[in-house]
Amino acid sequence: AIPLVVAISTAVSAKNGLLIRNRTAFENSRKITTLVFDKTGTLTTGEFGVTRYESLSDQFSRGYILSVATALEQNSEHPIAVGIIRKAKELSLSIPQAQAFNAITGKGIEAMVEGKSIKVVSPGYLREINVPIPEKASSQIIETVVFVLIDDKLSGFIALADQVRPQSKEAIKTLQANGVKTIMLTGDNATVAKSVSEELGMEGFFAEVLPHQKLDKIKELQQKGEFVAMAGDGVNDAPALAQADIGIAVGSGTDIAAETADIILVNSDPKDIASLILFGKATYKKMI
Protein backbone atom coordinates (compact mmCIF):
# COMPACT_ATOMS: atom_id res chain seq x y z
CA ALA A 1 0.00 0.00 0.00
CA ILE A 2 1.10 3.55 -0.65
CA PRO A 3 1.60 5.46 2.61
CA LEU A 4 -1.06 8.14 2.95
CA VAL A 5 1.47 10.95 3.18
CA VAL A 6 3.06 9.87 -0.12
CA ALA A 7 -0.32 9.55 -1.83
CA ILE A 8 -1.25 13.06 -0.72
CA SER A 9 2.11 14.45 -1.80
CA THR A 10 1.80 12.83 -5.20
CA ALA A 11 -1.52 14.57 -5.67
CA VAL A 12 -0.06 17.86 -4.46
CA SER A 13 2.84 17.40 -6.89
CA ALA A 14 0.49 16.85 -9.82
CA LYS A 15 -1.31 20.06 -8.92
CA ASN A 16 2.02 21.86 -8.99
CA GLY A 17 3.12 20.66 -12.38
CA LEU A 18 5.23 17.67 -11.36
CA LEU A 19 4.77 14.20 -12.80
CA ILE A 20 6.67 11.78 -10.59
CA ARG A 21 7.71 8.66 -12.48
CA ASN A 22 10.04 7.32 -9.82
CA ARG A 23 9.04 7.66 -6.19
CA THR A 24 12.53 6.91 -4.85
CA ALA A 25 13.84 9.86 -6.84
CA PHE A 26 11.12 12.05 -5.35
CA GLU A 27 12.07 10.82 -1.88
CA ASN A 28 15.71 11.71 -2.62
CA SER A 29 14.91 15.20 -3.89
CA ARG A 30 15.56 16.63 -0.44
CA LYS A 31 19.22 15.49 -0.72
CA ILE A 32 20.01 17.54 -3.85
CA THR A 33 23.13 19.71 -3.44
CA THR A 34 23.63 20.70 -7.11
CA LEU A 35 21.13 21.31 -9.85
CA VAL A 36 22.52 21.14 -13.38
CA PHE A 37 20.41 22.87 -16.03
CA ASP A 38 20.57 22.43 -19.78
CA LYS A 39 20.24 25.89 -21.35
CA THR A 40 18.33 25.67 -24.62
CA GLY A 41 14.72 24.66 -24.04
CA THR A 42 15.15 24.36 -20.28
CA LEU A 43 16.25 27.78 -18.93
CA THR A 44 15.28 29.37 -22.25
CA THR A 45 12.19 28.76 -24.35
CA GLY A 46 14.25 27.15 -27.11
CA GLU A 47 12.28 29.09 -29.70
CA PHE A 48 15.04 30.57 -31.81
CA GLY A 49 14.41 33.49 -34.14
CA VAL A 50 16.95 34.58 -36.77
CA THR A 51 18.33 38.00 -35.80
CA ARG A 52 20.94 38.42 -38.59
CA TYR A 53 22.31 36.51 -41.57
CA GLU A 54 25.19 37.58 -43.79
CA SER A 55 27.35 36.40 -46.62
CA LEU A 56 31.12 36.47 -46.01
CA SER A 57 31.89 35.71 -49.67
CA ASP A 58 31.87 37.73 -52.91
CA GLN A 59 30.45 34.70 -54.68
CA PHE A 60 27.24 34.18 -52.72
CA SER A 61 24.39 36.48 -51.67
CA ARG A 62 23.03 36.47 -48.12
CA GLY A 63 19.79 35.04 -49.50
CA TYR A 64 21.74 32.10 -50.95
CA ILE A 65 23.47 31.52 -47.59
CA LEU A 66 20.10 31.30 -45.85
CA SER A 67 18.55 29.10 -48.53
CA VAL A 68 21.34 26.48 -48.60
CA ALA A 69 21.38 26.43 -44.80
CA THR A 70 17.61 25.88 -44.86
CA ALA A 71 18.04 23.02 -47.34
CA LEU A 72 20.15 21.25 -44.70
CA GLU A 73 18.10 22.23 -41.68
CA GLN A 74 14.97 20.65 -43.17
CA ASN A 75 16.59 17.37 -42.13
CA SER A 76 17.14 18.45 -38.51
CA GLU A 77 14.86 18.86 -35.51
CA HIS A 78 17.26 21.09 -33.59
CA PRO A 79 15.71 24.35 -32.24
CA ILE A 80 18.25 26.21 -34.45
CA ALA A 81 16.87 24.36 -37.49
CA VAL A 82 13.30 25.29 -36.59
CA GLY A 83 14.32 28.99 -36.35
CA ILE A 84 16.16 28.99 -39.69
CA ILE A 85 13.30 27.23 -41.51
CA ARG A 86 10.76 29.70 -40.10
CA LYS A 87 12.84 32.66 -41.37
CA ALA A 88 13.19 31.17 -44.87
CA LYS A 89 9.41 30.65 -44.97
CA GLU A 90 8.75 34.25 -43.91
CA LEU A 91 10.97 35.40 -46.78
CA SER A 92 9.38 32.88 -49.19
CA LEU A 93 12.86 31.73 -50.27
CA SER A 94 13.04 28.88 -52.75
CA ILE A 95 14.92 26.05 -51.11
CA PRO A 96 17.16 23.70 -53.10
CA GLN A 97 17.31 19.93 -52.46
CA ALA A 98 19.91 18.54 -50.07
CA GLN A 99 21.47 15.08 -50.50
CA ALA A 100 23.67 12.85 -48.37
CA PHE A 101 22.61 14.57 -45.19
CA ASN A 102 24.73 13.92 -42.13
CA ALA A 103 24.54 15.23 -38.55
CA ILE A 104 27.86 16.29 -37.01
CA THR A 105 26.84 15.47 -33.45
CA GLY A 106 26.84 18.50 -31.16
CA LYS A 107 28.57 20.62 -33.81
CA GLY A 108 26.23 20.99 -36.77
CA ILE A 109 25.11 19.34 -39.98
CA GLU A 110 26.40 18.72 -43.50
CA ALA A 111 24.99 17.71 -46.91
CA MET A 112 25.43 18.17 -50.65
CA VAL A 113 23.40 20.91 -52.35
CA GLU A 114 23.58 21.45 -56.12
CA GLY A 115 26.92 19.64 -56.28
CA LYS A 116 28.46 21.70 -53.49
CA SER A 117 29.42 20.47 -50.04
CA ILE A 118 27.55 22.57 -47.45
CA LYS A 119 28.13 22.61 -43.70
CA VAL A 120 26.25 24.55 -41.00
CA VAL A 121 28.41 24.46 -37.89
CA SER A 122 29.14 25.87 -34.45
CA PRO A 123 31.92 28.34 -33.54
CA GLY A 124 33.67 25.40 -31.83
CA TYR A 125 33.83 23.53 -35.14
CA LEU A 126 35.45 26.55 -36.84
CA ARG A 127 38.03 26.71 -34.07
CA GLU A 128 38.84 23.02 -34.56
CA ILE A 129 39.60 23.59 -38.24
CA ASN A 130 41.61 26.73 -37.36
CA VAL A 131 39.32 29.20 -39.09
CA PRO A 132 39.17 32.47 -37.13
CA ILE A 133 35.72 33.82 -36.30
CA PRO A 134 35.18 37.01 -38.36
CA GLU A 135 34.58 40.29 -36.53
CA LYS A 136 31.21 40.72 -38.26
CA ALA A 137 29.87 37.54 -36.70
CA SER A 138 30.69 38.45 -33.11
CA SER A 139 27.90 40.29 -31.38
CA GLN A 140 27.01 42.60 -28.52
CA ILE A 141 23.80 40.83 -27.66
CA ILE A 142 23.28 37.21 -26.64
CA GLU A 143 23.22 35.40 -29.96
CA THR A 144 23.84 31.84 -31.00
CA VAL A 145 25.81 32.01 -34.24
CA VAL A 146 26.16 29.21 -36.79
CA PHE A 147 28.52 29.34 -39.77
CA VAL A 148 27.89 28.24 -43.34
CA LEU A 149 30.79 26.53 -45.12
CA ILE A 150 30.55 26.04 -48.90
CA ASP A 151 33.07 23.53 -50.25
CA ASP A 152 34.84 23.90 -46.89
CA LYS A 153 35.25 27.66 -47.25
CA LEU A 154 33.65 29.95 -44.65
CA SER A 155 30.97 31.73 -46.69
CA GLY A 156 28.40 33.15 -44.29
CA PHE A 157 26.77 33.07 -40.89
CA ILE A 158 23.33 33.06 -39.32
CA ALA A 159 22.71 34.54 -35.86
CA LEU A 160 19.74 33.47 -33.76
CA ALA A 161 18.42 34.31 -30.34
CA ASP A 162 15.96 32.71 -27.99
CA GLN A 163 14.56 34.00 -24.74
CA VAL A 164 15.18 33.18 -21.13
CA ARG A 165 12.00 31.72 -19.63
CA PRO A 166 10.44 34.35 -17.37
CA GLN A 167 10.36 31.85 -14.46
CA SER A 168 14.05 30.88 -14.63
CA LYS A 169 15.44 33.63 -12.41
CA GLU A 170 13.06 32.95 -9.55
CA ALA A 171 13.67 29.21 -9.85
CA ILE A 172 17.43 29.72 -9.45
CA LYS A 173 16.95 32.10 -6.51
CA THR A 174 14.65 29.71 -4.65
CA LEU A 175 17.00 26.78 -5.18
CA GLN A 176 19.93 28.82 -3.86
CA ALA A 177 17.89 29.89 -0.85
CA ASN A 178 17.46 26.18 -0.13
CA GLY A 179 21.21 25.52 -0.28
CA VAL A 180 21.29 24.12 -3.83
CA LYS A 181 24.07 25.20 -6.22
CA THR A 182 22.97 25.82 -9.82
CA ILE A 183 25.13 25.09 -12.88
CA MET A 184 24.44 25.46 -16.60
CA LEU A 185 25.47 22.73 -19.05
CA THR A 186 25.21 23.61 -22.74
CA GLY A 187 26.43 22.79 -26.21
CA ASP A 188 26.16 26.45 -27.10
CA ASN A 189 29.15 28.81 -27.13
CA ALA A 190 30.80 30.24 -24.00
CA THR A 191 29.71 33.84 -24.63
CA VAL A 192 26.04 32.91 -24.59
CA ALA A 193 26.48 30.52 -21.66
CA LYS A 194 28.31 33.16 -19.62
CA SER A 195 25.78 35.92 -20.31
CA VAL A 196 22.73 33.79 -19.55
CA SER A 197 24.19 32.14 -16.43
CA GLU A 198 25.31 35.52 -15.09
CA GLU A 199 21.96 37.10 -15.88
CA LEU A 200 20.33 34.33 -13.85
CA GLY A 201 22.91 34.54 -11.03
CA MET A 202 23.99 30.90 -11.37
CA GLU A 203 27.13 29.52 -9.67
CA GLY A 204 28.73 28.44 -12.93
CA PHE A 205 28.50 27.05 -16.44
CA PHE A 206 30.03 24.47 -18.76
CA ALA A 207 29.84 25.55 -22.45
CA GLU A 208 30.46 23.79 -25.78
CA VAL A 209 29.82 20.48 -24.09
CA LEU A 210 29.30 17.66 -26.59
CA PRO A 211 26.37 15.31 -25.95
CA HIS A 212 28.51 12.46 -24.54
CA GLN A 213 30.42 14.93 -22.36
CA LYS A 214 27.22 16.04 -20.62
CA LEU A 215 27.14 12.68 -18.83
CA ASP A 216 30.82 12.99 -17.85
CA LYS A 217 30.22 16.41 -16.28
CA ILE A 218 27.47 14.91 -14.10
CA LYS A 219 29.83 12.09 -13.05
CA GLU A 220 32.57 14.59 -12.16
CA LEU A 221 30.20 16.48 -9.87
CA GLN A 222 29.08 13.22 -8.25
CA GLN A 223 32.70 12.20 -7.67
CA LYS A 224 33.19 15.49 -5.82
CA GLY A 225 30.44 14.35 -3.44
CA GLU A 226 27.57 16.34 -4.92
CA PHE A 227 24.08 14.86 -5.02
CA VAL A 228 23.12 15.91 -8.51
CA ALA A 229 19.80 16.58 -10.18
CA MET A 230 19.87 17.34 -13.91
CA ALA A 231 17.11 19.18 -15.77
CA GLY A 232 16.98 18.96 -19.57
CA ASP A 233 14.72 18.65 -22.56
CA GLY A 234 16.73 17.29 -25.47
CA VAL A 235 17.76 13.95 -26.96
CA ASN A 236 21.28 15.11 -26.06
CA ASP A 237 20.36 15.39 -22.41
CA ALA A 238 19.02 11.84 -21.99
CA PRO A 239 22.32 10.14 -20.96
CA ALA A 240 23.00 12.92 -18.43
CA LEU A 241 19.44 12.64 -17.08
CA ALA A 242 20.02 8.91 -16.59
CA GLN A 243 23.40 9.46 -14.88
CA ALA A 244 22.13 12.14 -12.49
CA ASP A 245 20.86 11.08 -9.07
CA ILE A 246 17.58 12.66 -10.15
CA GLY A 247 16.69 13.29 -13.80
CA ILE A 248 14.12 15.99 -14.50
CA ALA A 249 12.65 16.43 -17.99
CA VAL A 250 10.97 19.54 -19.31
CA GLY A 251 7.46 18.61 -20.44
CA SER A 252 7.66 20.43 -23.77
CA GLY A 253 10.89 18.61 -24.63
CA THR A 254 11.60 15.38 -26.48
CA ASP A 255 10.02 11.99 -25.68
CA ILE A 256 13.45 10.47 -25.10
CA ALA A 257 14.21 12.96 -22.33
CA ALA A 258 10.79 12.34 -20.74
CA GLU A 259 11.20 8.55 -20.90
CA THR A 260 14.61 8.74 -19.24
CA ALA A 261 13.67 11.16 -16.48
CA ASP A 262 12.46 10.41 -12.95
CA ILE A 263 10.32 13.52 -12.82
CA ILE A 264 8.63 15.54 -15.59
CA LEU A 265 7.87 19.26 -15.41
CA VAL A 266 4.41 19.12 -16.95
CA ASN A 267 4.15 22.90 -17.45
CA SER A 268 7.81 23.30 -18.53
CA ASP A 269 8.21 25.69 -15.60
CA PRO A 270 11.66 25.57 -13.94
CA LYS A 271 10.09 27.07 -10.78
CA ASP A 272 8.38 23.73 -10.21
CA ILE A 273 11.82 22.21 -9.50
CA ALA A 274 12.03 24.37 -6.38
CA SER A 275 8.57 23.13 -5.35
CA LEU A 276 9.80 19.57 -5.86
CA ILE A 277 12.59 20.00 -3.33
CA LEU A 278 10.33 21.71 -0.81
CA PHE A 279 7.68 18.94 -1.15
CA GLY A 280 10.33 16.28 -0.83
CA LYS A 281 11.57 17.83 2.39
CA ALA A 282 8.08 18.34 3.82
CA THR A 283 6.82 14.85 2.89
CA TYR A 284 9.64 12.77 4.26
CA LYS A 285 10.10 14.84 7.39
CA LYS A 286 6.51 13.95 8.29
CA MET A 287 7.16 10.24 7.76
CA ILE A 288 10.17 9.92 10.04
Q: Which residues are catalytic?
A: 38
The closest residue (CB) to ligand ADP is 187
Q: How far is the CB of 221 from ligand ADP (least distance, A)?
A: 17
**Closer by beta carbon to ligand ADP, 14 or else 210:** 210
**Per DSSP, what are the bridge partners of residue 104?**
108
State the Cα angle at 144 between 140 and 150, rounded to 5°. 110
Residue 70 as a binder of ligand ADP (CB under 6 A): the answer is: no
Identify whether the C-beta of residue 102 lies closer than 8 Å to the C-beta of residue 110: yes
**Which amino acid, 151?**
D
**Closer by beta carbon to ligand ADP, 127 or else 136:** 127
CA 104 to chain CA centroid, Å, is 17
Residue 156 as a binder of Mg ion (CB under 5 A): the answer is: no
Q: How far is the CB of 104 from ligand ADP (least distance, A)?
A: 8
d(CA 10, CA 198): 34
Residue 247 as a binder of Mg ion (CB under 5 A): the answer is: no
120 binds, among Mg ion, ligand ADP, none (CB under 5 to 8 A by kind): ligand ADP
d(CA 231, CA 29): 13
- The residue from 41, 108, 156, 280 that contacts Mg ion (CB under 5 A) is 41
Residue 186 as a binder of ligand ADP (CB under 6 A): the answer is: yes
Identify whether the C-beta of residue 98 lies closer than 8 Å to the C-beta of residue 118: yes
Q: Which of 282, 278, 283, 273 is nearest to 18 (CA)?
A: 273
Q: Which residues bind ligand ADP (CB under 6 A)?
A: 38-40, 73, 76, 78, 80-81, 106-109, 120, 122, 144, 146, 186-188, 211, 234, 236
